Amino acid sequence: MSERAPSRFAGVAWTGEGYQVEVLDGAGHRVVGPSGWAAGRVPELIAWLRELSGGQGLAVVLDSTNGLLDGPLTAAGLDVYRADPWLLPPRPRFGSVPAERLARTPLGSLARVTAEGGSLTGRAEEYHEAVRRGAPIQAAMTAAGRCFEHGPRDTPKVALTFDDGPDPVHTGEVLAILARYGARATFFCVGHHVAALPDEVRRIADAGHELGNHSWSHPFLPDLTPEQLVEQLDRTTEAVARVTGEAPTRFRPPYGGLSPEVLATLADHPSELTMFDVDSRDWTRPGPERIAANVLGGVRPGSVVLMHEGAGDRGQTVRALPSIIEGLLERGLEPVTVGELPAPRPDH
């Protein structure tokens, strides 16, 4: 990332159609006219922002309901900042605050996002406290069959799952590897990408894999109102159903970000909350060997494995996948969808 003080500020807002961008200078004047970008044009958007940053210094400002861009933006060397809810006016039911408002948020009040910390840089303590408070509720939902974390430990099967897609490059690569081994998996898709890349969603479904719901814009769920959370889920379900003819029944929360308030909303929603018990940590991009080791070192019969194939460069995950599948097969563990894992029995 650049160390120069930024003299330009790009607010990037998300909508149901894509992204809206406003770029202002230090005096609050527009550098260029407002622009709109379809969700499938993220590489072009990044290239445009990089060109604007050249020699001037550019701060790209997102809000905490936009968890799809920080990874690609930071990987491209751009300076990314997050505006948290207490700095902003109320959001609409669906979408972020206007791009101009994001661009005008005082830089000193913003959190600078790092590749290591991801979207929630600086909010890890808050995140873990919310999960801790919600743990008893989540446990009760699991016991009642409303939350799935893993299958029985005597079942020689493992569910491979991929979040944040579809992706124009990596989804096809993952599907080709799965087909090579006759393996099945579950893809938790974000609505933003489903709307932009319907053909990739059809490829997943046509190959016999399971589709799940991963929200529309990958927000930090505790920052949403109950109405905003339900809108994120329902719009994504509708988008997948329009493409495949079948509505997904499973929902995985972005970042695994749960709180008692979020869980109360999910308890009244028809989706089945679907978590994981093995985290590949591939989003940190530690290298293919480390990703494979994280999976194979933690996996057990009945495990649900978290990986990613969208919202950034997932080449390391793609390169790790053959070793992961071969390691599972060597242990007699069949890679399957979450839906093919039986529910754990009370004594497990």
Active-site position among 163, 223, 234, 282? 163
Can you tell me the distance from the alpha carbon of 216 to that of 258, in angstroms, rounded to the nearest whole number? Answer: 16
Asked about 163 being catalytic, the answer comes back as yes
Residue ranges matching CATH 3.30.420 in the chain: 8-120
Segment 50-56 mean pLDDT:
85
**Torsion of the alpha carbons at 238, 241, 247 and 252, rounded to the nearest 10:** -60
pLDDT at 3 over 60: no
Residues sharing a CB contact under 8 Å with residue 310, sequence separation 6 or more, in sequence order: 162, 163, 164, 165, 166, 167, 170, 171, 189, 190, 193
- Residue 297 tokens read as 């070192």
pLDDT band at 342 (very low <50, low <70, confident <90, very high): confident
- The sign of the torsion formed by the CA atoms of 117, 122, 128, 133 equals negative
Residue among 104, 126, 129, 105 nearest 117 (CA)? 126
DSSP character for 13? E
pLDDT at 48 over 60: yes
For domain 124-340, give the CATH superfamily: Glycoside hydrolase/deacetylase (3.20.20.370)
Q: What is the CATH number of domain 8-120?
A: 3.30.420
pLDDT band at 346 (very low <50, low <70, confident <90, very high): low
Q: Model confidence over 101-151: pLDDT tens digits?
A: 999 999 999 999 998 788 899 999 999 999 999 999 999 999 999 999 999
Degrees to nearest 5, angle at CA 254 with 249 and 258: 90
Q: Model confidence over 167-201: pLDDT tens digits?
A: 999 999 999 999 999 999 999 999 999 999 999 99
| 8 Å CB contact between 96 and 102 | yes
Residue ranges matching CATH 3.20.20.370 in the chain: 124-340
